[in-house]
Amino acid sequence: VVYPLFAGGYQLTVIRDALIFGLFAASLDFFWGRTGILCFGHAAFFGIGGYIMALVTLNDAIPFGSLLGIMGAVAGAAFVAAIIGYFLFFGGIRGSYFTIVTLAMGVICQQAAVSWSSVTGGDSGLIGIPPIEFDLGGLHVDLSQDLPSYIFVSAIVAMTVLALWLISRGRWGTVLTAIQDNEIRAAALGHNAPLRLLVTFVLSAAIAGLAGALYVCMAGLVAPDLSGLLLSTEVIVWVAVGGRGTLLGPVLGAIFIQRAQQTISSFNPSLWPLLLGCVFVIIVFVLPDGILSIYARLKDLFKGGRRAQ
């Protein structure tokens, strides 16, 4: 977090965008890591948040565009997740069937963004999205510069991940773990499993929408690819590489992958997909709990060495 403050503007931009993707990865991990149910169309919520933010901020007639855009992005993604999640969870859809349905959801959202060109700009998307700017208690916040935008994004990511961690460590997370282990037994103990899964899914989608809103304001554009299958696949890789169920791990995984992609692509862009596949395979077989598990392994090794002495 501190290193980019002493780096150039380009480094700030790279790490800032990686942090936004890290927030997106943490949103998926909050649901997937705690429930064991994989959402393969999570980028749909990222794209929904991005498009809502773009449409609101590009309309000069709407006052407080940045704040309303962020709130609209969060609410819009949550609303779509609530509708889809209600039918899936209360309909008893779980496992691979849930994954397939959410995959279709992502494809539909991407195609809708392409087809509804009068609103979304079609394949070209929407450009010229202004940076976040608002007044807060007499303080004027302008994120058009690299350093303020980096600090703002870092604060948002830190607070959001901390909030998710506290929820996961509390009673809510304990009940979700019980549902993941045995949903029938959890229901017998009086827990409304479908409702808890739905609320968790909606919160996960809302944070993905927030990440999408932040990203399009920093990038200045939004396109159908932001809700497509490729980004949905990438975020799964980030979570797996970082460590599913850890929340912090996916953030680190996203930063690691994004930083590696920037470095390797500058030398040989065509080499990156191959290396990414190799990294994913190595992580799955050597570090199935992600790179964050390295710390736990070293800690156990150190404790074991001290006991031997």
DSSP, residue by residue, 201-257: HHHHHHHHHHHHHHHHHHHSEE-GGGGSHHHHHHHHHHHHHH-TT-SHHHHHHHHHH
* Residues 103, 26: Cα–Cα separation, whole Å: 19
pLDDT of residue 171: 94
Beta-ladder partners of 140: 135
**Mean pLDDT score, 239-265:** 90
**Mean pLDDT score, 48-57:** 96
pLDDT of residue 249: 92
**Mean pLDDT score, 262-278:** 82
pLDDT tens per residue across span 117-165: 999 999 999 999 999 887 777 777 788 888 889 989 999 999 999 999 9
* Residues 264, 154: Cα–Cα separation, whole Å: 25
**Mean pLDDT score, 266-284:** 82
b (16+ CB within 10 A) / e for 206-241? bbbbbbbbbbbbbbebbbbbbbbbebbebbbbbbbb
pLDDT at 18 > cutoff 80:
yes
From residue 101, give the alpha-carbon distance in Å to each of 77, 154, 209, 237. 17, 33, 19, 19
**Contact call for residues 292 and 238 (beta carbons, < 8 A):** no
255 vs 143, more confident: 255
Residue 244 pLDDT class (50, 70, 90 cuts): very high
**Contact call for residues 48 and 77 (beta carbons, < 8 A):** yes
**Mean pLDDT score, 171-187:** 93
Residue 13 pLDDT class (50, 70, 90 cuts): confident
pLDDT at 1 > cutoff 60:
no
Percentage of residues in the chain having pLDDT higher than 70: 94
pLDDT at 308 > cutoff 60:
no
* Residues 249, 195: Cα–Cα separation, whole Å: 27
Residue 81 pLDDT class (50, 70, 90 cuts): very high
pLDDT of residue 32: 96
pLDDT of residue 306: 58
**Contact call for residues 56 and 189 (beta carbons, < 8 A):** no
* Residues 272, 162: Cα–Cα separation, whole Å: 32
* Residues 149, 58: Cα–Cα separation, whole Å: 19
pLDDT at 259 > cutoff 90:
no
* Residues 90, 290: Cα–Cα separation, whole Å: 32
Of 62-76, 255-269, 273-287, the range with the highest mean pLDDT is 62-76
pLDDT tens per residue across span 2-11: 666 666 677 7
pLDDT of residue 100: 95
Average pLDDT over all residues of the chain: 89
pLDDT at 243 > cutoff 70:
yes
Complete DSSP assignment for 97-110? HHHHHHHHHHHHHH
pLDDT at 309 > cutoff 60:
no
**Mean pLDDT score, 251-260:** 91
3-state secondary structure (DSSP) of residue 192 = coil
pLDDT at 307 > cutoff 80:
no
* Residues 85, 77: Cα–Cα separation, whole Å: 12
pLDDT tens per residue across span 123-133: 999 999 999 88
**Mean pLDDT score, 196-203:** 98
Cβ contacts of 238 within 8 Å, gap of 6 or more: 21, 22, 25, 250, 253, 254, 257
pLDDT at 293 > cutoff 80:
no
* Residues 240, 24: Cα–Cα separation, whole Å: 13
Give the other-Cβ count within 10 Å of 300's Cβ: 10
Q: Is 291 exposed, middle or buried (0-12, 13-18, 19+ CB in 10 A)?
A: middle
pLDDT of residue 267: 81
